[in-house]
Homo-oligomer: A and B are copies of this chain.
Amino acid sequence: MWAPGSLTVAPGSRTVADPPAMRWWGWGDPAHPPALGAGALEFLREHVGVAALPRPPVALGAVSIEPSALPEGALAALREVVGEQGARVDHGERVLHAAGRGYPDLVRLRAGDPEGAPDAVLHPTARAQLRALLDVCARHSLAVVPFGGGTSVVGGVAPLHGEGQRAVVALDLGRLGGVLDVDRDSLTVRVQAGMRAAALEQEMGRRGLTLGHFPQSFEYVSLGGCAATRSAGQASTGYGRFEELVQGLALVAPAGDIELAAIPATAAGPELRRVVVGSEGTLGVIAELSLRVRPAPVVRLYEGAFFRDFAAGARALRALAQEHCAPAVARLSDEAETRMSLALAGTGAGSGGRSGGGAGGGASAAFGTVSSGVKRRLGRVYLGARGYAEGCLAILGFEGTQEEVAHRRGRALGVVRRHGGLPVGRSPGRAWVAQRFAAPYLRDELLTHGVMVETLETATLWSGLERLHEQVGSAIAQALRAQDTPGLVMCHVSHLYETGASLYFTFLARQREGQELAQWQAVKRAACEAIVEGGGTITHHHAIGRDHAGWLEREIGHEGVAALHALKQQLDPDGIMNPGKLLAVSAG
């Protein structure tokens, strides 16, 4: 049942998994235990700097938003479609839909000062209501922000409206979250797009199947959101990017519906599935998806391997991809990320795991942890004078049948050894698995302690990977120093392809109190510039949203942007769909 005040709601049909509520000011379950122990805090104090006093978020009631600008006639028309409880205008509900979960979103929310809030939040319960709602919104010049799990880290659900639009509504798809059909022969499942990835995974698990899509936002993200943003999960090396899972879909656009039946492949003109996937709510609302699933793996074997340096590890990952023996999850932390993990492992993080790990577990595992046992095994080869690791830790996660895992792992470890890698057993793998969704929780606590933490990512060809790693890392570090807040910059390679891979950067620094957004903007800008200058894509799996919209033209060119504008003009002629996202300027 739908519970007022929760950010996501129980799916509409055939699935009953109830997501925990989400903190209005941060990530996840409000009851989630603290992840930042005393040791980790001490580490941060030494290397980054923390606030003198904790800086908790303001109370919900203190969050300041403008009164709803929704005209009464528009609200009445919306309620004709979805009823009174389906069109909410109360403070709490509007705040819950005021922002995604990017760093600037959280800075603003915690300060009680979001950049805006939707003037109403709509909760349709049937697909037919989507068309009716879009018609009302077009008639009343209301901007529409499709809202799934609300987990965007690039401003994808910011409540913006275009010129001349009187108000903005959030279209929460949480009640359109059921499984519509399972085709066991074809291994496809058709779902309502508001369904959460976690709920589908649970539902598939009961049938011995898996979607295999595990982004860090897994617990909250919606499947429609994954499609709209071209998500890639942590296991995408094995299961494919979300766009590869999409066999068919239904888009409800202001101009009409686009229904593309599930087919394995086609040559019938340009691939409209790949136009809708990645459209970020700017063309219409993704209402349904047909997704490829697989038999659930019998074995999940996650382990660690250590490489002398980043270059050697990257070469090994390249060989894994190009020799077709990569594990489902393959990640290589650079020296900085490895060093931090090992340092935190010494603060009591231990082996991680749901039951173990102690107070520091979340902090360390979120960046890839090894136990002190592993540290001992590494011995002097990889541990420098100060006891910090001077190599790079990789996590390799194999999934499949016994036979598949045994064969693939055998080949993969051969590749690892050929590149000088040292397998270090399962404890790093277990720690990573236990904490794979922990980083957003940790971020909340870092913010409480006055620490900026942000992640950004790109992808490039193997031939340019090391150079890009160096350039982007340097750009971030330099921008942090220029803000007088030198910090920690670290990175891992993940999401392997035959021709290249992604780079995922994390950086931490002391917040400049009162200047948090300007500080973030300066670093973000420097990183984006380094990425596009270095030949990387501006985003490998976070999407464009609002934050990258200014960079899209650098990637796809003037004519590419013009082509997207033309599509939008056709499908959303009044420009009501998610204005200000993807395309920086409205169609001229």
Contacts and interface: CB of A to CB of B under 8 A. Distances in A.
A556 interface: yes
A586 to B, nearest CB: 15
A356 interface: no
Interface in A525-579: 535-544, 548, 552, 555-560, 562-567, 569-571
Interface string A462-473: 111000000000
B500 A263 contact: yes
Given A263-B537, A404-B324, A567-B563, A275 B275 contact: yes
Contacts of A571: 559, 562-563, 566
Nearest to A266: B537
Contact of A255 (B407, B464, B559): B559
Given A461-B185, A498-B292, A559-B256, A268 B570 contact: no
Interface residues of A, number: 89
B277 A183 contact: no
Interface string A435-469: 00000000000000000000000011111100000
Contacts of A427: none
Interface string A277-292: 1111000000000001
A485 interface: no
Nearest to A583: B269
Contact of A275 (B257, B271, B461, B557): B271
A535 B499 CA distance: 34
A563 B258 contact: yes
A131 interface: no
Interface in A304-334: 318, 322, 324
Contacts of A261: 535, 555
A558 B264 CA distance: 22
A3 interface: no
B269 A544 contact: yes
A272 interface: yes
What is the total number of copies of this protein in its complex?
Answer: 2
A52 interface: no
Interface stretch (A39-47, A80-88, A224-232, A364-372): A224-232
A402 interface: no
A537 B272 CA distance: 13
Contacts of A183: 461, 463
B552 A269 contact: yes
A268 B559 contact: no
Interface string A384-416: 000000000000000000011001000100000
A540 to B, nearest CB: 6
Nearest to A243: B271
A247 B187 contact: no
B497 A542 contact: no
Counting chain B CB atoms within 10 Å of each CB, the highest count among A266, A324, A463 belongs to A266
A8 interface: no
A533 to B, nearest CB: 12
Contacts of A407: 407
Nearest to A407: B407
A322 B394 CA distance: 29
A264 B559 contact: no
A108 interface: no
Closest 7 pairs (CB-CB, A-B):
A264-B500, A566-B570, A264-B497, A230-B267, A186-B461, A266-B537, A274-B274
